[in-house]
Structure 1
Amino acid sequence: MAGDAAGAVGAHDHLDRSAVLLVVLLCATWGFYQVSVKVAVEGISPVLQAGLRSAGSCALLMLWARARRIPLFDRDGSLWWGLGAGLLFALEFMLIYWGLSYTYASRSVLFVYMAPFVVALGAHWLIPGERMNVAKAAGLAAAFCGIALAFADGLRLAEGEEWIGDLMCLGGAIAWGATTVLIKGSPLVRARAEKILFYQLAVSALALPPLSLAMGEPGIVAATPLVLGALAFQIVVVAFASYLAWFWLMRSYPAAHLSAFTFLTPVFAVLAGILLLGEPLTPAVVAALALVALGIWLVNRPRLYS
């Protein structure tokens, strides 16, 4: 997931039209991400799929860094912290991909996007100057109510296993939030965004395929054009191009103004699941989506308006 890099002071003090269009496009891309995982899981086991995604994106990132002469292997005191971030990243995507084999894409995003609230709580206790304020507390309360509503709705679904996937995706959100707190509170905060992403992709690419084998996953069972296309979308568009675009935005524009738009991601994800996968839309999911989106906006809104 994007947003793990610390935002530098941007070259612009506000978002222009191009930046707004790009950040909305990125949110739409991340919203369609869960759908691509659901499509690919029909032919590639979930944990192996997460590992293949990381391996492919890591290879592209290394080529990009080589072309741009960005050092990825210099000694800067971040190695052990980077390995820790990579292990949390691997845990995050193992849980999310595995969870999506049980629950709907349109539901999973509600749980995955509890990550900003994990960050807000962790930063309050562990990072100086990142104290909880009234707006963040209100956002946390709104999101918690939304998640409780979505989880209760999952328990009533006929299939009976959605709650398992919901809990896994919530675990992935906790791992994502912990990764961000680790980065913000360690020497990684001074590292280049590309190097932080490299740590995460490289460690998960090495860890997840053997884990998939140990779990007894069947692996690649149907390498259809649709399945391979969905995996390619994850590798090229999501974990490589969209993350680099987000990091560029974070370096060029105010991070708080950009982060306020991330409430759009769960909206796009729910719409994508309904329109592309024919997933059910219940009143409880609509209410939960509204509460979670409101919570994300309150937690990330620019301080100018606090």
Structure 2
Amino acid sequence: MRTCAGRGTPVPVSSPTSPPRPGVLDWSLLATLVILWGSAYAGTHIGVEVLPPAVLVACRLCIGAFVLGLGCLAMRARLPRLTDYKTWGVLTLIGATGTLLPFLLISIAQKTVPSALAAIYIAAAPLTVAILCHFLVPSERLNLKRAVGVGVGFLGVCLLFAPALSDHGIGATPVVSQLLLLAAAVLYGSTSVMVRMVNPNLHPVAMSCGFVLVAALLSLPLAIQAWPEGGVHLEARHVFAILGLGVLSTGVANLVYVLTIRRVGPVFMSNVGNLAPFWSILVGALAFGEALPATTFAALAILLFGVWLVQRQGAR
């Protein structure tokens, strides 16, 4: 089971002993995923300008579930039977804590923090995976080198907090927002452990569709409660942002991820989470004029180095 930090989408895979060498198509698919998942934070930045976070998340999930449903039809991937309570129970857990809640936390946080900073925090998800697997998966205990990687990664996370703490103090809104982003990264990481409970015979597209569908259904009461009394006025860019989040960053991206991971294996796909923050920084700078302090870039370098150590040792 693998989780891409850029999105947190778990996909059960059976990796070949010697995965094929990635070709031009595979690198193109990787670049597509980096763009789709890295741009999601820009879409959220635009969406929360006019929509409450709960409404934006519900729109994204409902559209994404529809696209994934079409993917299931195209690939003839069947959802679990309604009487398969165990599988649906796990999918509900993943949908609630690994999809809906992180989406909400990120959307709330992005009302006060730059989109690029949100992407950087989510890149820390593999560190959570390593820690949880150490305690819950006997075959994936932390050795010394991986433990060093986790420590280095969290040093980068601490450095991310430094500017907000020094400027505003621990109770300030920017600090709380960054804590929400860190919590979202932890939830994304924990999903990688939860999917181990899913029936391995379930098609990965059906699994993705299942937990996104559950998350969409759970989001509707929250969206109804949060809907503004005066309604909302959407401009064209808001509509495009919402459609982009649902169709591309949630629906199409999951389908591309499944296709690519089946072609070349999960190790190659781990590059997505490492590259997505750089795309998010570029989009944030060009689209919104976001300027991050030098400490943020240093923190990103340290964080990704720690993640690289964890993934490199884990792949051996």
TM-score, with structure 1 as normaliser? 0.90
- Residue from 221, 225, 232 that aligns with 1:210: 221
2-side partners of 1:116 and 1:190: how far apart? 25
Q: 1:177 aligns with which of 164, 185, 189?
A: 189
Residue 241 of structure 2 corresponds to: 230
Distance 1:158 1:127, change over 3 A: closer
1:132 to 139, 142, 149: 142
Counterpart CA distance in 2 for 1:242 and 1:262 is 13
SS of corresponding position for 2:139: coil
Q: CA deviation at 1:196?
A: 1.9
Kindly tell me: are residues 214 and 284 of structure 1, through their superposed partners in 2, closer, same or farther at Cα, counting changes over 3 Å?
same
Q: CA deviation at 1:111?
A: 1.8
Equivalence map 1:60-99=2 (5 Å): 60-74=67-81, 77-88=86-97, 89-99=99-109
Question: CA 1:164 to 1:218, structure 2 compared with 1: closer, same or farther past 3 Å?
Answer: farther
In 2, the alpha carbon distance for the partners of 1:97 and 1:111 equals 13
In the TM superposition, what is the alpha-carbon distance from 1:48 to its structure 2 partner?
1.1
The CA deviation at 1:126 is 0.9
**TM-score calculated relative to the size of structure 2:** 0.88
Alignment match of 2:49 (pick from 42, 46, 67): 42
**Correspondence for 1:278 among 289, 294, 297:** 289
Secondary structure, counterpart of 1:301 in structure 2? helix
Q: Residues 110 and 118 of structure 2 are in contact (CA less than 8 Å); yes or no, is this contact kept in structure 1? A: yes
1:158 deviation in Å? Answer: 6.9
Identical amino acids, percent of aligned pairs:
24
**Equivalence map 1:1-306=2 (5 Å):** 1-10=7-16, 12-74=19-81, 77-88=86-97, 89-157=99-167, 161-184=173-196, 186-215=197-226, 221-301=232-312, 306=316
Secondary structure in structure 1 of the residue aligned to 2:276 = helix
Structure 1 unaligned blocks of 5 or more: none
Question: Structure 2 regions of 5+ residues with no counterpart?
Answer: 1-6
Of 65-74 and 239-248, the range deviating more from structure 2: 65-74
**1:232: Cα distance to partner?**
0.8
Mapped contact 2:71–2:255 kept (Cα < 8 A): no
CA-CA distance at 1:216 after TM superposition = 6.5
